[in-house]
Structure 1
């Protein structure tokens, strides 16, 4: 077997590394595609749930009772889960002379 030059070894190693990176990049691309599809379906489900809730409410307002609708196979729409508001982030107070000291240090030669 003939010995390979350093340049040939480097080239083969880089080629192998690029193939591994292509395979890994493909996996990330597939995950991104699946996430996009999931997000689209989740949006469609939210829209469908909202339409169903509106129609169900219209049926109740039109004189149907919840019991009657249940007998017809129409379950009450799920109420949207209560959204929690994020607690405000605390503001870190500055020591009164802190900004002055930083400005004084910057002004010194």
Structure 2
């Protein structure tokens, strides 16, 4: 087997680190545009109210949810980034539900 590529290292590092966190494992992972975001639901439109990770297998940045903006941490390992996302999850952030956001029986407001 050949040497692991940068792409493979990035996927293995960031996704594996996120998967080790039980609270993140319960959310819907959405890799896109060099970022790994997490959502409370499984179909568009997405919740977009949780922190997300940008980076590679060596160094990651964690950003606050899109509506809030700002950086929560930088120069983090994938494992540190995943742990920082967990620290900033809302208390009511449970397992992802199937369907679009907002959940019909729990309107956002």
Normalising by structure 2, report the TM-score. Answer: 0.20
Larger fraction in strand: 2
Q: Which has the higher contact order (CA 8 A, sep 6+)?
A: 2
Larger fraction in helix: 1
